[in-house]
Chains A and B, each alone.
Chain A
Amino acid sequence: MSGFEKHMADVLRSHEVAPPAGLDAQVFAALDGAGASAGRSLVGRRLGGAGLGALLLVSFGWYFGTMPAEAPVVPAVAESAVSAVSEEVLATPESAAEAVVLDRMNSAAPAEAQAENAAPEPAVALAAKPTGVRRTEPSTSSAAQPVAVAPLEQRSVAGIEDGKANGSDKMLMETPEEPEGVWRMKARVNVKED
């Protein structure tokens, strides 16, 4: 360091400049503000934590409190029939899937003719697709009562391609025999009348 640099350092180190007016007020206001905000943040953290916990408790309480005592009854019409067909189809190699369906359709053809003569075609409950996966309130009318559905063999099954029962058409159904809150995924099979 040269002599000039030392001189410069001495001069500047001891140099003083008058601060702008009002800086003291700003400093002490900031000091008070910093203390207050620190206190606020501490209290806020504590209250916030407690509040969040309380909110979670209330939410869970409300959720479980409003749940129906029994699991909602979803019409399980033709469920076993659908399962039987879909499982069989799914278990069959892709190329043979259509053959399986056609075979079952052909073998049931005489029975279908008899059924047509005997009684009018009942409503097909499978057409009623649940909206989303939301819970449904137990219904006292149609849901509680079993709906008669013609045997699946009497119908032609459409929408089964490539050995899969319309993979995109899967839907979630909650069934009465399952424990509460357990959802089973089932394949939906479109049933088309001839």
Chain B
Amino acid sequence: MEAELLELIRICKTGNRRGQTRLYERFTPMLYAVALRYTNTQVDATDVLQEAWVKIFRHLDSFTEHNSFEGWMRRIVINTAITHYRRNLKHVHHADIDEVHATPADFAAFKESDFTAEELMQAIAELPKGYGMVFQMYIIEGYKHKEIAEMLGIDLNTSKSQLSRARRYLQEVLERMSRRAQPLPMAAEETKKKTIQ
């Protein structure tokens, strides 16, 4: 870990407000993106991040310098988002599994340059909440199924099946997005004719 960050953490442990502000300004954009991915709405993401920052500052003493500070903060945000999700579970409506049409297409069909970060975030936001959480925790954060099952309070096999469904769902979403981005052949012809005339 860089010496400057270590010093900043040390200052923050004393409760210094200027140090806390510097730490906040440095990591908030990254943590806000995480919160936004797990909650899908700005209002919820703001709530989650605010709660997470309070936890970070209050439990800074428990952070050991041998670990990744970014990973430690990221985990706090994710755990806070999971708690928030569970708290509001009754308000979330899951899509029926039968509505998810599985396609044999593979992610290999997509090119890495096809989508921007915002588009990928939008695609993940379209996943049903449970699928989206498992997918992000496994693919983006790199958690194992056992860890995901423990953190979300679900069965190990449920975690695996939800990841599988999330992959299928995401394929559909990305395909739809790529189709939307391409102009329709008929429409392109019409535009061409009008331009010539």
A interface residues, Cβ below 8 angstroms from B: 1-5, 7-9, 11-20, 23-24, 26-28, 30-31, 34-35
Give chain B's interface residue range (CB within 8 Å of chain A).
20 to 34
A41 to chain B, nearest CB (A): 14
B83 to chain A, nearest CB (A): 16
Closest CB pairs A-B (n = 7): A16-B29, A4-B107, A17-B33, A7-B112, A2-B107, A19-B32, A27-B53
Is B54 on the interface with A (CB-CB < 8 A)?
A: yes
A18 to chain B, nearest CB (A): 6
Residues A9 and B140 in contact, CB atoms below 8 Å apart: yes
A3 contact set on B, CB distance < 8 A: 107-108, 112
B112 contact set on A, CB distance < 8 A: 3-4, 7
Is B196 on the interface with A (CB-CB < 8 A)?
A: no
A17 contact set on B, CB distance < 8 A: 29, 32-33, 36
Residues B139 and A31 in contact, CB atoms below 8 Å apart: no
A4 contact set on B, CB distance < 8 A: 107-108, 110, 112
Is B121 on the interface with A (CB-CB < 8 A)?
A: yes
Is B157 on the interface with A (CB-CB < 8 A)?
A: no
By DSSP majority rule, is chain A's interface helix, strand, loop, or mixed?
helix
Additional 11 contacts, C-beta under 8 A, given A16-B30, A26-B46, A30-B50: A2-B106, A2-B107, A9-B140, A15-B33, A15-B121, A16-B29, A19-B46, A19-B49, A23-B49, A24-B28, A31-B53
Measured in the bound complex, the distance between the Cα atoms of B21 and A26 in whole Å is 12
B127 to chain A, nearest CB (A): 12
B174 to chain A, nearest CB (A): 9
A18 contact set on B, CB distance < 8 A: 29, 32
Measured in the bound complex, the distance between the Cα atoms of B139 and A183 in whole Å is 75
Measured in the bound complex, the distance between the Cα atoms of B140 and A7 in whole Å is 10
Is B117 on the interface with A (CB-CB < 8 A)?
A: yes
| A31 CB contact (under 8 Å) in B28, B32, B54, B108 | B54
Residues A19 and B29 in contact, CB atoms below 8 Å apart: yes
B142 to chain A, nearest CB (A): 8
Nearest CB to that of B138 among chain A residues? Answer: A1
Interface positions of B from 3 to 40, Cβ below 8 Å from A: 17, 20-21, 24-25, 28-30, 32-33, 36-37
Interface string of B38-68 (1 = CB under 8 A from A): 0000100010011101100110000000000
